Amino acid sequence: MDEIIVLESGGYTAKINATRGANCFSLEHSGHNAKILREPDYSKPLDNPFLYGAPILFPQNRISGGKFEFEGRVYDFGINEENTNCYIHGALHVTPFAVVEKRENFVRLVYENDGTYVGYRDKFAITCTYFLSENGLETECKIDNFSANNLPVLLGFHTTFNLPFIMSSNKNNVKIGVDIGDEIERNMAVYLPTGKILEYDQVSSAIKSGEFVSDKPISRHYKINADGLITLYDESKNVTLVYENDEKYKFRLVYNGNADNFICIEPQTGMANTPNSPFGRTYAGFDFIKSGESKIYKSKIYIKEGKIK
């Protein structure tokens, strides 16, 4: 039986599955009749566990050949996506987290790696804190490095929003925007960056200007511009769903399946295949945490009246 935590405050209700990677799999707002996140049906096997709620990715996205080298150490994850010869997304989504503190509108959950987590022999802890208020859902992800080595960090969230997010609306009423910078070309046979930056086409221009309507299948990868702000504006209701991520999330991946009733906008600290990137690790966003230190990664989701951008 999964351990489900329910938080309530300010008209919002959030549900977090401690058993499945501390995934915030449901976020609703009663006043707007909003079901913000795409919710899974845990009574049956999921077709894709990454396309429900906001599962944590660690390491995020794909790693070519399933391994990389850092400071003379090889991090070998194996291959879990045979058709691309890659390792993808990590195993936190099926890893139980322990609830260490809980209140009506707040929960803190932690996973401590003893050196057995896929690819990582380093000891570390990941602590997820969710705080709900009238200002929305605030998420804080803290990574503590307890090892003697520097800890490579490849962190992302596979956040998947309902389209429409207001139940009485229509997905074609929703204008999607992301504050994007460079568009990263990928080889779509294996979904890995080629080393080329693309000129904007009509789709990327619409995403940049906040005018994209999810009526055609897309899978796009971007470096952020200033703050990478994500907005979903429902014209018919004159409300905006806002997703804020701090500056440590330097990349976004935008994906909507076959133009289905969802949009997945993934904040990622690095690009796909970060450690083996043809761009080099600095541009690709490769990061690490020094021995004995920690870093905190923050995000926020909320609904606001009117169009904000």
Which pair of tokens denotes residue 281? 């690790």
The pTM for the full model equals 0.97
**DSSP structure class, residue 112:** E
CATH number of the domain that 256 lies in? 2.70.98.10
* Cβ-contact 169, 234 below 8 angstroms: yes
Give the bridge partners for 86, in sequence order.
Answer: 64, 81
Reference 100, options 74, 67, 129, 140; nearest CA is: 129
Number of domains in the chain: 1
Which pair of tokens denotes residue 230? 């994500």
What does each of the 309 residues of the chain score in pLDDT, given as a tens digit?
899 999 999 999 999 999 999 999 999 999 999 999 999 998 888 889 999 999 999 999 999 999 999 999 999 999 999 999 999 999 999 999 999 999 999 999 999 999 999 999 999 999 999 999 999 999 999 999 999 999 999 999 999 999 999 999 999 999 999 999 999 999 999 999 999 999 999 999 999 999 999 999 999 999 999 899 999 999 999 999 999 999 999 999 999 999 999 999 999 999 999 999 999 999 999 999 999 999 999 999 999 999 986
Question: Which is it for the CA torsion 147, 150, 152, 157, positive or negative?
Answer: positive
- Domain holding 98, by residue range, is 4-305
